[in-house]
Structure 1
C-alpha cells in the first residue's frame, strides 16, 4: 500500500459517552431546524453532522435505535408546538418520523462500502437519500412538505434558494445535506486526508457556484414588470366573536342545515357583511384584486348564489377582481365545501375552486379535482389554491406549467403552524416563477415575488384588523422546474438505487474495506466494531 498523505496519529474509536453526546446534541439542535417558529437556518447545516457521527460509529443496533428515537422525539416536539398532539394524528405521523431516519441509516450502511470507490461518491449517499425521501413523502403521502424538508429552513437565504427554480426545494435540501455529510467525513478522516479534502473542495465549490449564480440572478434579473395593488382582507376578531354563539348553538352540520335559511343568512352577515365592506374600502383605496382567506365567508348552499351576487355587485361597481374564500354547507355528505370563488370586474364568475388537499383527520370533507384554475387578466395570468395545497410542489407546478404570473393562496391556519405555511409558499414562488399573494386568517399572511423577495406580511395575532396590501409584479418567468418538474428528485432516487447496486459489487483491491471509513487496514476497536482506528496513513 502506497501512502500519499502525511502520517497521522492513530485515532481511537469514540466512546459510548461521546457517541451519546453527539446523539443528544444533534437531537437538541434538530429542534431548531424543523420548520417551526424557532427555526435557526444555520442549525440545519450543523445538526445532521452530529447525527451522522453518531450513526457512523458504534454498533448497528445502537445506531438504528438512537436515530429512530431522535427523529421520533423531534416529530413529537413539532406536533406539540403545532398544537397537533393527539392520538389520531400520532397514528399517521409516526411513520413520517421513521422516514426522517432513513437517510441516516442508508448512509450508515452504504457510505463505508463506497469509500473504496472514492470519498466523493460515499459523501453523496446522505444528500441523495435525503432528497429522495423528501420527494417520496411529498408525492406519495398526505403530508406534502409540511415537515422534515431540510431545504425549507433556508427560506431567507435568497441566493441559495434560487436553486429551487431548477431543482425544486429538494435541491436546496441536497446541498445542505451534502455539506453535512462532507463535514462529517472531514471530521472522521481529518484535514490531513487528501481524498477527504478533495471531497470537501468539490462540495464547497458546488455551493460557491450555486450562491454565485443565485446572487447573480437576484442582481441582474430582478422582476421588472409593472405591479398591481392586491389587498387581502380578513374578518376582524369582534365580527368573528359575534358569530361564535351561532356555531355554539348549531353545533353540528346537521343542525346548521336544518336551520331557517334566512335566519342563517342574517347570522352569517356579521362576518360576510364585514368582508364585503372591507372589499369596497380596499377597492376605493386602489386595490385591483381583493382576496379573502380560506373559509372567510359562510353560507348554506341555498344561499350561495345570493352571497356570490353580493360579491358580483361589489366587483362590478368598483371594477375589481374579488377572490373570496368561503365555507358552503351542503345537503350532500360530507355537508361542506371549502372553496374560493373568483369574480371578475364585469361580474362574471371566473372559477369555483375546491381545496385539493384537505388536511388529514382535521378536514374530513371531499377533495376537489386537483386542477388549478387559470384566468387571463390585465394583470397577468391569475391562479388559485387553498392553504394546505401550497405544501404540495407537484400540485403548484400546474400553475407554473400554465404560465401563471400570480398565485393567490387563501389560507386559514392557527398559531402553531403559521410560520411553516408562510415559509413553504416562498419556495412555490421560486420553483414556478410566479409571485405569491397568500392571505391567511389566524396565521401569517405574506406576499413574495417570483424570486422569493418579501413584498408584505401581516400576523393575525398581532394585528387588530388584519389587512395586507402588496404591489405584486404582473409578469412571472418560466423556470426550469416549471418545465421539467421533479427531474432532479427523480435523479436522486436513481442515484440512491445505483449507489446501492455499487455496494453489492466486488470491491477494488487495495482500497478501504467495508466498515473502515477511515481508510487503511481494517482494524477492530476495543468494542469489536471494525474500522474505527487508523493504523498509519491512508491509501493513495
Structure 2
C-alpha cells in the first residue's frame, strides 16, 4: 500500500492549505503559517519514499494552481519550472523525515526551517524567475511588525519563522500538550517570535524615516487613447511586423500614446509633483524616432522643473530581439541622467535584449534615486546592488490577475533595503511603499479610465543591516542544516 490509511488525510488537508499559501489572487496569509503542519504530519506518518512523492505532488498541484490564478497558461515551459521547484521544495520535508527521529525537541524543530530557507535561496539565486514563485515570506507583506525582520535577514528570515512555527506546533501536537516534553521548544519559539514582533513594532514606532517628503506621481496612458492607438495597428500582430511597419502608419499611432503621457506629466507637474514616473513600456517608439521623443520629454522637464522617468519600448529591427525595454531619467535641466535596459526579461514573455545588470543611481536634491524595471524587483541581489538609496523607481507592466500580488511582493524590497519604492504599473496595480513597507498609495488600472497615482514619500531612506551583510542569515541556516545532519548521522552510528 502506497500510503498508510491514517496518513493520507493529512496530505489532502496540507495540499488544500498550500493552494492558499501561495502569494496569489486567492492567497491567505494565515495559510502560510499552518499548511506545512499537515504536510509534515503526513511525511512523518508514512514511508520515506511515499512521503517524498506525496509532497512533490502537493507542490506540483500548488504551483499549477498558482499559475492558473495568476492568469498564466499552465502547460507551457513554465510548468517544467514548477516541476523543478516542487522537487527542491520537497527536500526540506524529506530531511525532516529522515533526521527528526534522532534530533528530538527543539533541535529537531530547526531542520525543516533551515532546509526551507536553503531551498528558497537556491531557487532565488539560480532560477530565471528569481523569488517570484518561491518566497513564502512575501505572503506576510501586510504584517508590518513581522516584515521588519527583512531589514536584517531578507525575506528568508520570515520564511524561517513561518516554517519554525509549523514544526513547533507539530511538536506540541505529537506530544499531546505534555508540558515537560514541549516546554523548551515552545518557550524558545514563542520568545523569538515575540522578540521579532516587538522589535518590528519598536522599529515602526521609533525609527520612521524623516518627515521631509517629495511628491511623486505615476501616470499611464488613458485607456481610450491606448485603444485608439492599438486600433490603428491591428494589422501588425507582433513586434517583428510592427518594427517593419509603414512609418506613415506606425509613427502617428504611437505618438497618440506618448503625447497623452506628456500631457499627463505636465498636469501632475502643475499639481506639484517633483518626480513623474511612466510605466514599463509606457509608450512604444521606433528606434529612428527615439531621439525626437526624448527631446520632447526633455522640453517638458525643463519647462516644469521636474524629474521624468520615462518607460520606453524601443522598436528595433535586430533579430531575435525586436525591442529594447528602457527607462530614461531626465532631470529638470532636460539632461538624460541614465538609460537603463531591463536586466531580467520574464522567461517566455519578454522578447527583449537584456541590459548589463548595472542598477543606475544618482544623487538629487530630493534624495538618492535608483531605477529598475518590473521583474528586476524579484531579484533581491539586484535590488540591493546600490548602497544608500532613498527612492527606488520601478516602472512596471503586468496584467489583471497578477498586478496586485506582484506589487505587494515589492513591499519586501523596500523593507530589505530601507528605501521608498514607487511601482508605476500599467495594466496592473500601481503602488508605493515607504522604507518600513507601509503602503502610501495605490491605484488599479482596471478601475480607472486613466491610472494616476500621487504619493508623498520620504526623501531619506533607512539604512539596513541587510544591505551591508547580504544573505549571511541564509548561509548560517545552511551551515546549521549541515551541522544538524552531521549530528543526526553521528547519533545513528552510536545507535548501531
TM-score interval, normalised by the smaller of the two chains: over 0.9
CA–CA distance in structure 1, aligned partners of residues 75 and 313 of structure 2: 25
**Out of 33, 37, 43, which is 1:55 matched to?**
43
Structure 1 residue 364 displacement after superposition:
2.9
Looking at structure 1, the residues matched to 138 and 62 of structure 2 have their Cα atoms a distance apart, in angstroms, of 16
- Kept after mapping to 2: 8 A contact 1:190/1:196: no
SS of 2:484 mapped into structure 1: helix
- 2:233–2:250 contact (8 Å) kept in structure 1: no
Q: Which residue of 2 aligns with 1:432?
A: 417
**Contact 1:164–1:431 (CA under 8 A) maintained in structure 2:** yes
2:345 aligns with one of 348, 358, 362? 358
User: Pick from 362, 378, 382: which aligns with 2:369?
Assistant: 382
Which of 244-253 and 174-183 deviates more? 244-253
Please give the per-residue CA displacement for 1:221-272, whole angstroms capped at 9, x wherever unaligned: 1122300000000112111111223442122333323334354221101211
| Distance (Å, rounded) in 1 between the aligned partners of 2:424 and 2:399 | 13
Task: Tell me, in whole angstroms, the C-alpha distance in 2 between the residues paired with 1:503 and 1:247.
Answer: 65
- CA displacement, residues 162-206 of structure 1 (integer Å, 9 cap, x when unaligned): 000000000001011101111111111222152422111101100
> How many residues are matched?
492
- The reply on whether 1:294 has 2:283 as its aligned counterpart is no
SS at match of 1:245: helix
Show the counterpart of 2:96.
Answer: 107
Aligned: 1:221 with 2:210: no
Match of 1:417 among 402, 406, 412: 402
Given that 1:341 and 1:353 are in contact with CA atoms closer than 8 Å, whether structure 2 keeps it comes out as yes
| Alpha-carbon offset, residue 97 of structure 1 | 2.2
* Mapping for residues 124-273 of structure 1, pairs under 5 Å: 124-192=110-178, 194-273=180-259
Distance in 2 between residues matched to 1:214 and 1:256, nearest whole Å: 51
1:106 CA drift (Å): 1.6
Q: CA separation of 1:199/1:257 partners in 2, compared to 1, >3 Å: closer, same or farther?
A: same
Measure how far apart 1:503 and its partner are.
2.3
Partner of 2:450: 465
Q: TM-score, normalised by structure 1?
A: 0.89
- Give secondary structure in 1 for the equivalent of 2:385: helix
CA distance in 2, matches of 1:33, 1:223: 32
Instruction: Say yes or no: does 1:408 pair with 2:393.
Output: yes
Cα deviations across residues 51-71 of structure 1 (Å, max 9, x unaligned)? Answer: 110111112232112111111
Task: Say which one has the larger Rg.
Answer: 1
Answer whether contact 1:233 1:292 (CA < 8 A) is retained: yes
Match of 1:455 in 2: 440
Give the Cα–Cα distance (whole angstroms) in 2 for the partners of residues 308 and 490 of structure 1.
45
Native 8 Å contact 2:92 2:115 kept in 1: yes
- Preserved CA contact (<8 Å) 1:128 1:495: yes
SS in structure 1 at match of 2:372? strand
> Could you tell me how far apart the structure 1 residues matched to 2:361 and 2:264 are?
25
Aligned to 2:469: 484
- For residues 136 and 114 of structure 2, the distance between their equivalents in structure 1, rounded to whole angstroms, comes to 13
CA contact (8 A) 2:102 2:491 kept: no
Give the Cα separation in 2 of the matches to 1:332 and 1:136.
34
1:507 Cα deviation (Å)?
4.7
Cα displacement (A) at 1:406: 0.4
Deviation at 1:418, TM superposition (A): 1.5
Contact 1:358–1:388 (8 Å) recurs in 2: yes
Match of 1:34 in 2: 22
Q: How far apart in 1 are the matches of 2:205 and 2:274?
A: 29
Question: 2:48, 2:98 within 8 Å by CA — same for their partners in 1?
Answer: no
TM superposition shift of 1:321: 0.3
CA distance in 2, matches of 1:271, 1:346: 24
Show the counterpart of 1:537: none
Partner in structure 1 of residue 306 of structure 2: 320
